[in-house]
Amino acid sequence: MPIDFEFTEEQQMFRDTIRDFGENEIAPLVEDAEKNEKFPREIFPKLGEMGFLGISFPEEYGGVGLDKLTECIFAEEMGRINAGIAMCINAHTSLSCVPVHKFGTDEQKKKYLIPGIEGKVIGALGLTEPDAGSDARSIRATATKKDGRYYLNGTKTWITNGTMADFVIVAAYTDKSKKGTGISLFIVDSDAPGFTEKNKIHKLGHRSADTAELVFENCEIPEENLLVGEGGFNGAMDTLLGARITHAAKSVGLSQAAFEFALRYSKEREAFGKHISKFQAISFKLAEMAVKIETARLLVYKAAWLYSNDRKALKEASMAKLHAAEVVQWVATEAVQVLGGYGYGVEFPVERYYRDAKLASITEGTSEIQHIVIARELGI
């Protein structure tokens, strides 16, 4: 069977549609979203209407029924438009809707997945805590069952979509004696009694992304909102596997945006009587940017292909996430250098690309964690 690196005609058309939507419906909102540090929630119903929130979900739930490859095309194009907005969309589809689809009951899917695909409700994943980031088994949140209900206590932080989510998938221990395996996953409605605070977090980059600390004090959860019983940690890790691939695609999109702007600027800016793109120091930077972006993109789509075909993709997903994170930070730094002083100012978006790029090596599994996963998969 020959190797084909070309997108299908359907995927090409899908990319054109996504790009057109992003440039016409989302790009005009970016400046205000970044300035006000507020995600433009009004785009969610539009995304749902276009089918962009249900790319890889079955048609029976209102999805499009396509694959991870196509989902990565979408994530890359959104990352190219704005990293913060792309992150909120990814958190909704990959981190909250995916576990409902994979582990939810029919009733849970009707209540949360279908309207989530339609863009009528927004979801989030509550895993990280103030004292438990990379070591997710060390979370302290607990959920105790009493009289047919669960009572959740704990704090979650750095939660994307935190203040605007209609529901949150929350990880909590139902049996503290079982490290890791005693964790369960719950669907918590934003208006649940005891869901007491939603403190917004202000950030270096991704300013248009809604990020918050969530506090639960004897938060009442109906028994039917248990998503995954003990062993939920594996469910959370399975969710993160797919999310890391789309996150890597988002990083490729951000890299592409930084590269395109630097390339365009270099062809317009003149110094010493010629465009700076003609200077070897600049042309070599741009050439190296193009090479690194293409290698990151190939890793992303290989991982997506494996995932779509139910092949083992843990190592490849971590490789894609790690490499894309390194590439986007390098490309964004070099883009600033190409623009010189203008790259350091806020007049052009390159300084935003630079700020946004750093998060790639931190969120959804740090680069250090990806090294650990890759080494383990190599048998080390």
Radius of gyration of the chain (CA): 21
**pLDDT (tens digit per residue) in 142-171:** 999 999 999 999 999 999 999 999 999 999
- The mean pLDDT of 274-287, rounded to a whole number, is 97
**pLDDT (tens digit per residue) in 25-76:** 999 999 999 999 999 999 999 999 999 999 999 999 999 999 999 999 999 9
Q: In 3-state terms, what secondary structure has residue 136?
A: helix
d(CA 349, CA 356): 11
33 Cβ neighbours under 8 A, 6+ residues apart? 39, 40, 82, 84, 85, 207, 208
Give the per-residue pLDDT at 189: 97
**pLDDT (tens digit per residue) in 200-231:** 999 999 999 999 999 999 999 999 999 998 87
**pLDDT (tens digit per residue) in 169-203:** 999 999 988 887 899 999 999 999 999 877 899 99
Give the pair of three-digit tokens for residue 195: 């869901």
**pLDDT (tens digit per residue) in 106-124:** 999 999 999 999 999 999 9
- The mean pLDDT of 317-342, rounded to a whole number, is 98
Give the model's confidence band at 281: pLDDT under 50 very low, under 70 low, under 90 confident, else very high.
very high
Give the per-residue pLDDT at 239: 80
Give the pair of three-digit tokens for residue 82: 């704005």
Give the per-residue pLDDT at 2: 61
Question: Could you tell me the sign of the dihedral formed by the alpha carbons of 249, 252, 258, 264, in that order?
Answer: negative
Give the model's confidence band at 133: pLDDT under 50 very low, under 70 low, under 90 confident, else very high.
confident
Q: Would you say 54 and 226 are in contact if contact means Cβ atoms under 8 Å apart?
A: no
d(CA 308, CA 133): 28
For 9-122, CATH gives: 1.10.540.10
d(CA 193, CA 59): 34
Q: Is 201 exposed, middle or buried (0-12, 13-18, 19+ CB in 10 A)?
A: middle
Q: Would you say 100 and 109 are in contact if contact means Cβ atoms under 8 Å apart?
A: yes
Residue 1 has pLDDT above 70, yes or no: no
> What proportion of the chain, given as a percentage, has pLDDT over 90?
90
d(CA 56, CA 257): 25
Give the model's confidence band at 238: pLDDT under 50 very low, under 70 low, under 90 confident, else very high.
confident
d(CA 356, CA 363): 12
Q: Would you say 282 and 317 are in contact if contact means Cβ atoms under 8 Å apart?
A: no
Residue 290 has pLDDT above 80, yes or no: yes
Domain ranges of the chain: 9-122, 125-229, 234-377
- The mean pLDDT of 236-248, rounded to a whole number, is 90
125-229: CATH superfamily: Butyryl-CoA Dehydrogenase, subunit A, domain 2 (2.40.110.10)
234-377: CATH superfamily: Butyryl-CoA Dehydrogenase, subunit A, domain 3 (1.20.140.10)
Active site residues: 364
Residue 322 has pLDDT above 70, yes or no: yes
Q: What are phi and psi of 317, to 5 degrees?
A: -65, -45
d(CA 234, CA 19): 35
